[in-house]
Structure 1
Amino acid sequence: MIAWDEEIIRAVARRRSVIVVGSGVSKNSTNAAGRRPASWEEFLRKASDSLENPPVLEALIRQRDFLTACEIIKRRLTPDAFGALVQAEYQQPGYQKADIHEHIYNLDSSIVASPNFDVIYDTYASSVSNGSLVIKDHTSPDIIRYISGGETRLLLKTHGTANTPTQLIFTRKDYAEARTKYVLFYEILKSLVLTHTFLFLGCGVDDPDIRLLFEDVQFAHGRMPLHYMTIPENEVDPEVLAVASESMRIKFLSYSTDNGHAELTSSLSELVQRVDLLRTQIGSDQKW
C-alpha cells in the first residue's frame, strides 16, 4: 500500500489540491466488449499500422518522440481522418468507469485536471454530481471564475477532449501553438502549482506538459509546495526519479503492479477514508 504523507492528506482535506488523472487511470476501464483505451504509444502504433508502418514513424515511436510521430501521422492522415481516429479510440467505444474513478471523485477535490482525451471520468463525475460538475479546457476563457473553490467542482481537460477533436493538444505543433494562443490558461496552471498541492495519478514522469510547467515554476520562483506522483515500482530508474524530483519538486510514491495495479486503487480507497476522517475533525474543531 502507498504510505500517504500527512501533507497530501491535509491538502486534499482542505481542498487545496489538484488531482491529475492520467492515462494509467483510464487503463482500469473497459467497454462492454472488454476493450481498454489505448495509451499514447499504443494509439500511435495503431495509427502507424493504418499507414503501413513507415520507417520514420517506427523510429520516432521507438525513441519515444511521440510528439513528432503524432505530427507526421496527423499530416499523412489529414486532420479530419486523424480526428475520426481519435474519436474511434477514445469516445465511441463507450468505456465504463472503474472503482478508481469512484475513489477519485470521493476525494472531493475542488479541482481535477486530466490530459486524457477519453470522457470516462467526465461522464461518471457529471452523472453522480447530477450535472453540477463544471468542465473546461484550454480554450475556455472563463476558467478563472471556477478556481477559487467554494461549492464549484471543476474538471480541467488540459489537452482537450475527443468530443472536440479539432481542439486537441496532441502534436508538437499543437503544444507550441497552445502555449502561445492560450497564455492565460497556462498562467492559471502556474498559479495553481504555486498555491495548491498536485497529486498525479496514472501519469508519466516524461510527460512534456508536466515537465515544462513544473520546471518553469521551480526555476522561476525557487519555492513551491511539494507535489506528489504515484508510479509503478521499478518502472523508472532511481537516478532519473532523483533528477525529476529535484527539478520539479515532486515526491514519487511507488506501488506494486501486481493484479493489474490493484494496489493503486486500494491505496486511493484508504486515502479517501483518511481525508474524510480529517475533514470531520477539522469541522468539529472549526479550524478551516
Structure 2
Amino acid sequence: MLEKAILKELKNNNLAVFAGAGLSRGSGFVDWKELLRDIADELELDVDKEMDLVSVAQYHYNANGRQTINEAIIEEFQRTSEKNKNMDILSRLPINTYWTTNYDSIIEDTLSSVKKVTDVKISQSQMKNYKPDRDAVVYKMHGDKEFPDETVITRDDYERYDSDRRMFTTQLKGELISKTFLFIGFSFEDPNLEQILSRIRVELLGKSPKNHYCFFRKVNQSDERYKNSDGSFNEEEFKYDKVKQDLKVKDLKRYGINSVLIDEYVEITRILENIEKKFKINKVFISGSAKEYGKYSNEEAKNLLHNLSKSLISRNHHVISGFGLGVGSYVINGSLEEIFNNKNKRTNDYLTLRPFPQNESGGKTLKELWTEYRKDMINDAGVMLFLFGNKESDGKTVEANGMIEEFQIAKELNKFIIPIGSTGYATEKIFNEVKKDLKKYWYLKESINILEVEKDESRIIDEIHKIFEKIRRSL
C-alpha cells in the first residue's frame, strides 16, 4: 500500500516529506531528548522520565535565560554531519517540498550535493521570497542552528508561534490538504503539528482527509528498556507501551496518517531503496556510440535503435540519451515518433536529451566534466541499455572507452544493466563481463543467448521487454 501510493504521488510530483529528529540521527545528530539532557540535569530532572520536553526547556529558560539553550543548539548541530542514506535516496527522487522541525542542515546540504537549487525558508519574512529555478523548498518551521535565538524550543516559543510564524502554519495546512506527506523520523509529539492537524480535520468537516504515511518502530520485547535489573523481562511495561502504540496508530488515522510499522529503522532505508528502484525502472539510459556498426548494416542498426526507442516509449518508459555519435539521433527519432503519435504523451515526460559539454569550465578538464556528467545522467536512470560502442581515433575505429566508464558507474550505482552483446565493440566487452556473473545479473540469465547472438530487431526488443518484466516482478 505504501509503495504504490508513494510511487503514484512521485509520478504526479505531489509527494512532500516531513522530517523529524529521527532522520537527522542517521547523520550523527542528537534528538530532542539528548539535546536537553544536560539542561535537564541542571534542573535535577531525569530527561528519560520526562514526556513534556517543551516544558523542560521552558523551566530552564525561567531559571537561567536562553543562552545555555542556544549554546547547546550551536554545539550539537554545528558539527560535520555523516552521510545520510535515507536523505540521499530522497534527494534523488522528484520531491520538491520538504518540511522539518530540525535545526540542522541535512536536507538542504544533501539536495545541494546533487545540484538541486534549494529555497530554504527559516523565518516568516522569507516566505514571500521566491528563488528562481528552484528544485525544492525546505520549510524549517522551528528555525535553524545558525539562528539559535530564534529557534522554537520553549513553551513561550510555542505559544507565540501563531504570531511569530503564522505563515508557516498557513502554508503547511494548505499542503497537508493538497499533497501526500511521508513523515520520516517524526514522533508526532510536537504540539504545533498536532494543532495544525486538528484544525484541518475540523475544517474538512468529516470529509475524508488526504492520505499521508509515517514510519514507527514496533514496540520490541528485546529492547533494553524491558529488562529488569535482574535480567528478567518486564512484561507489564512492554504491554503498556504496546497498547499505547496501538492507540497512537489508530488515533493518527483520524488525520489520514497511515502508520507503517517496522521492526528496525534500517527497514526504512530498504523501503526507500525499493521505492527508488521501482520509480526509476521506467527510466532507461541508452548508452551507445558508433562510427561503424560491424555485423549490422547501417539500415539494420538504424532500425534497431529507432524501433527499440519507439517501443520503450510506447510502454511508458522514459528514455535518456547522451546523444552518442551514430546512436543518439536514431534513439531520438524513434522516441519522438512515438511521442508525437500519442497526443497524451509530452516530450519532457518521456525523453531526456543530455549532449555532452564540449569545452572545459569551472577549473575542470573535459574528462572530469564528462565523468561528472555521466554520473549525473546514470544516477537519474534505473536501467542501462548498452549498444555498439566505438569511435574514431587517429583515423582508426577504436573501442568507446566512455561506454566502459558508464558501465563502471552503473555498477557502482547498482543499476540494472542490459548489454546487447550482438552489437559488438564496447558492448560486447561489457556483455562478456556480465555473462561471467549471472548470479549478480540474474535477470539476464534466460535471455543471455539472445542478447549474445540475435540480430533480428523484433526478437531483441521482445526479449528486452521480457527482462524489464522480470525486474518489475522482483521489486
Q: TM-score, normalised by structure 2?
A: 0.52
The counterpart of 2:90, out of the listed 89, 104, 109, is 104
Question: For residue 253 of structure 1, what is the amino acid of its counterpart?
Answer: V
Q: Which has the higher contact order (CA 8 A, sep 6+)?
A: 1
Matched, 1:163 2:149: no
**Alignment partners' CA distance in 2, 1:144 and 1:188:** 14
Determine which of 67, 84, 106 is the counterpart of 2:71. 84
CA–CA distance in 1 between the matches of 2:166 and 2:190? 19
> Alignment partner for residue 225 of structure 1, among 186, 210, 224?
210
Q: Percent identity?
A: 18
The answer to whether the 8 A contact 2:2-2:213 is kept is: no
Q: CA deviation at 1:143?
A: 4.9
Matches within 5 A, 1:126-145: 126-129=112-115, 132-143=117-128, 145=130
2:251 matches 1:253: no
The answer as to 2:277 corresponding to 1:273 is: yes
Q: Aligned partner of 1:77: which letter? A: N
- Pair 1:191 & 2:174 matched: yes
Per the TM alignment, residue 138 of structure 1 is displaced from its structure 2 partner at its CA by 4.1
In structure 2, how many angstroms separate the alpha carbons of the residues matched to 1:233 and 1:278?
A: 33
Find the counterpart in structure 2 of residue 33 from structure 1.
Answer: none
Q: Which of 31, 43, 46 lines up with 1:39 in the alignment?
A: 31
Query: What amino acid maps onto 1:101 in structure 2?
Result: M
TM-score of the superposition, structure 1-length normalised? 0.83
Contact 1:13 1:279 in 2 (8 A): no
2:278 partner amino acid = R
What is the one-letter code of the residue matched to 1:263?
Answer: E
User: Using a 3 Å threshold, how does the CA distance of structure 1 residues 151 and 168 change in structure 2: closer, same or farther?
Assistant: closer
1:231–1:255: 8 Å Cα contact kept in structure 2?
Answer: yes
CA 1:43–1:203 in structure 2 vs 1: closer, same or farther (change >3 Å)? same
Greater displacement, 104-113 / 136-145: 136-145
Q: What's the offset of the Cα at 1:145?
A: 4.3
Distance in 2, Cα, partners of 1:144 & 1:13: 27
What is the CA–CA distance in structure 2 between the aligned matches of 1:14 and 1:150, rounded to whole Å? Answer: 19
Contact (CA 8 Å) 2:81, 2:106: kept in 1 or not? yes
CA distance in 2, matches of 1:282, 1:210: 39
Return the offset for 1:11: 1.1
Out of 73, 79, 101, the position equivalent to 1:115 is 101
Tell me which structure has the larger Cα radius of gyration: 2
Residue aligned with 2:83, SS: coil
Q: Deviations over 1:234-280 (max 9, x none)?
A: 3752122112222x2100011221xxx21111111111222334688
Q: 1:159 to 1:62 in 2, by over 3 A?
A: same
Distance in 1 (CA, whole Å) between partners of 2:278 and 2:51 is: 38
Instruction: Identify the residue that residue 32 of structure 1 maps to in structure 2.
Output: none
* 1:4 Cα deviation from its structure 2 partner: 2.4
Structure 1 match to 2:12: 14
Pair 76,123 (structure 1): closer, same or farther in 2 beyond 3 Å: farther
Q: State the AA in 1 paired with 2:12.
A: R
Q: Give the distance between the partners of 1:207 and 1:64, measured in 2 at CA.
A: 11
Could you tell me whether the CA contact under 8 Å between 1:200 and 1:230 is conserved in 2? yes
**2:250 counterpart residue number:** 242
Q: RMSD of the alignment, in Å? A: 2.6
Instruction: Provide the rounded CA distance (Å) in 1 between the counterparts of 2:276 and 2:199.
Output: 31
Residues 226 and 250 of structure 1 are in contact (CA less than 8 Å); yes or no, is this contact kept in structure 2? yes
Conserved 8 A contact 1:144-1:188: no
- Matching of residue 207 in structure 1 with residue 205 in structure 2: no
Q: 1:67 to 1:282 in 2, by over 3 A?
A: farther
Distance 1:209 1:42 in 2: 21
Report the AA paired with residue 96 of structure 1: E
Measure, in 1, the Cα distance between the counterparts of 2:133 and 2:7: 19
Counterpart Cα distance in 2 of 1:207 and 1:100: 22
1:103, distance to aligned residue in structure 2 (A): 0.7
Q: Find the aligned partners of 1:277 and 1:13 in 2 and give their Cα distance.
A: 12
Q: Which amino acid aligns with 1:87?
A: I
2: CA distance, partners of 1:140 / 1:282: 42
Residue 286 of structure 1: which of 321, 324, 345 is its match?
Answer: 345
CA contact (8 A) 1:10 1:275 kept: no
Residue equivalent to 2:437: none
1:178-201 deviation digits (Å, cap 9, x = unpaired): 212222221111111111111101
Matched residue of 1:198: which SS?
strand
Q: In structure 1, which of residues 72, 75, 84 is the aligned counterpart of residue 62 of structure 2? A: 75
User: SS of the counterpart of 2:99?
Assistant: strand
Paired with 2:158 and 2:9, the residues of 1 have a C-alpha distance of 30
* Shift in alpha-carbon separation, 1:282–1:213, aligned structure 2, 3 A: farther
SS of the residue 1:228 aligns to: strand
* Count of residue pairs the alignment pairs up: 267
Which string of whole-angstrom CA distances, capped at 9 and with x for unpartnered residues, describes residues 43-92 of structure 1? 2112223x2x42xx43x76240111111112333322232111110112x
3-state SS of the aligned residue for 1:199? strand
